[in-house]
Amino acid sequence: MMASDVDLDATGLLDGLDGHARQERAELIAWLLDRGFSIENIRSAFSPMLLPANRIIGDDGTRVSAQELSESSGVSVELLQRLHRAVGLARVDDPTLAVLPRADAESVLPAAELMKVGFTADEIVLILRLLMDGLTHSAVVMRQTALSHLLEPGTSELELARAAEALSDQADPLIGPLTENLLRLALRHGFQTEVVNAAERASGAPPGARDVAVAFADLVGFTALGEALPPEDLARLAGELADHARDVADDPVQFVKTIGDAVMFVSSEPVALLDAVLDLVDAVAADALPRLRVGVAYGPAASYAGDWYGKPVNVASRITAVAPPWTVYAEESARLEIGDAPGIAWQEVGARRLKGVGGEVRLFRASRAAQAATGSS
């Protein structure tokens, strides 16, 4: 479909835009149409500017179901769904729904082959989870570096899309060798270190800060559990919490990391983050995991190498330490930024002194309005 054949005003893709912004978006859409993207491709894209770049690095726009992929690969639907969750793909309960990008869904197939050489499904899931944790941080740094080269004052959407496509075209051939060689390096060093240890035993600047909402959630009593449960059970509990955290973290909410018995989220949209952590509390309760508590803060923070730094990070962590089980506490800045969002009920808790935070911090408890009306915790 060519741009000349489409009435852009009728597509709804320009709704809500005026003046220069509307003109920029129209130019971008026309360019995308001429490059073979459909109106539906553009409408469903989280960032239309990145469609050409994403196509180069594997996403051709097609969608596939777990059932279809199972039939073509011979990997069971159950294993595919576990591996998809391990790499952070959206949970799809109906295996017949073709909603996952084909490139994303197929990315786990080489990992499934590890079962043929003796790895268990649990071991493969753990490997994928750790790989994605590390690769996600690397991808964030690559993205930030790329943007530092692409963004200039006054850059238009079309100019950014073209530049991102060109950069992806240049970088794509390097991605495979880079990750493969580094993983081999890590394996070599890992094996070497293990051999050395065995012998010894035998012989006796971050980018600029911006306002974001930050949340920490941790399992109450996890330290005490460490005295009663074997390490593998503790790791399983932490992994299950991380899985739930990944499930609820949809754009614009970012699952940042796990820290022992805690998980961290960040979002430029505080309402979305609050919805996510309330969903997380419900999911953990339904899964009979140890009790969860959450702290939320808002303010300027900076991202570096996939992690976040700044006052709201510290405050959110400290709030979590004083929140009762099964509750979500937010400090005043987050409460004001979120406002009276639909479906959310607020209760002022009062001012508290938090370890490592100067002065008193006013805290508010957030809950689903329906739960607050019935007195549920």
Residue 325 covered by a domain = yes
Q: How far apart are CA 307 and CA 200, in angstroms?
A: 36
Q: How far is CA 61 from CA 45, 69, 71, 77, 110, in A?
A: 9, 16, 21, 22, 21
Antiparallel, parallel or unpaired: β 262-267 and 210-219: antiparallel
Residue 342 covered by a domain = yes
Residue 156 covered by a domain = yes
Give the pLDDT confidence score for residue 117 in this predicted structure.
93
Residues 233 and 370 in one domain: yes
Residues 133 and 256 in one domain: no
Domain containing 30 equals 3-44
Closest CA to 51 of 215, 162, 159, 178: 162
Residues 261 and 348 in one domain: yes
Q: How far apart are CA 157 and CA 26, in angstroms?
A: 10
Residues 370 and 295 in one domain: yes
Residues 238 and 313 in one domain: yes
The three-point CA angle 150-61-268 to 5° equals 50
Residues 162 and 221 in one domain: no
Give the pLDDT confidence score for residue 22 in this predicted structure.
92
Give the pLDDT confidence score for residue 222 in this predicted structure.
67
Give the pLDDT confidence score for residue 206 in this predicted structure.
38
At a CB cut-off of 8 Å and minimum separation 6, what does 57 contact?
168, 171, 172, 175
How many domains in the chain? 3
pLDDT (tens, 9 = 90+) of the chain, 377 residues, equals: 577 778 888 888 999 899 999 999 999 999 999 999 989 889 888 889 989 998 998 888 888 999 999 999 999 999 999 999 999 998 888 999 999 989 999 999 999 999 999 999 999 998 998 888 888 878 887 887 887 877 788 889 999 899 889 988 998 899 889 999 988 887 876 565 444 445 445 655 334 678 999 999 998 876 656 566 677 777 778 888 899 999 999 888 989 888 878 999 999 999 999 999 999 999 999 987 788 999 999 999 988 766 899 999 999 999 999 999 999 999 999 999 999 999 999 999 999 999 889 899 999 999 998 766 665 54
- Tracing tokens 């893709």 back to the chain, one arrives at 13
Residue 85 covered by a domain = yes
CATH classification of the domain holding 68: 1.10.1660
Residue 291 covered by a domain = yes
Residues 181 and 256 in one domain: no
Residues 217 and 245 in one domain: yes
Residue 55 covered by a domain = no
Residue 274 covered by a domain = yes
Residues 317 and 352 in one domain: yes
Residue 104 covered by a domain = yes
Residues 157 and 292 in one domain: no
The three-point CA angle 48-43-151 to 5° equals 15
Residues 94 and 161 in one domain: yes
Residues 268 and 366 in one domain: yes
Give the pLDDT confidence score for residue 125 in this predicted structure.
93
Domain boundary residue, one of 188, 218, 247:
188
The three-point CA angle 295-140-334 to 5° equals 25
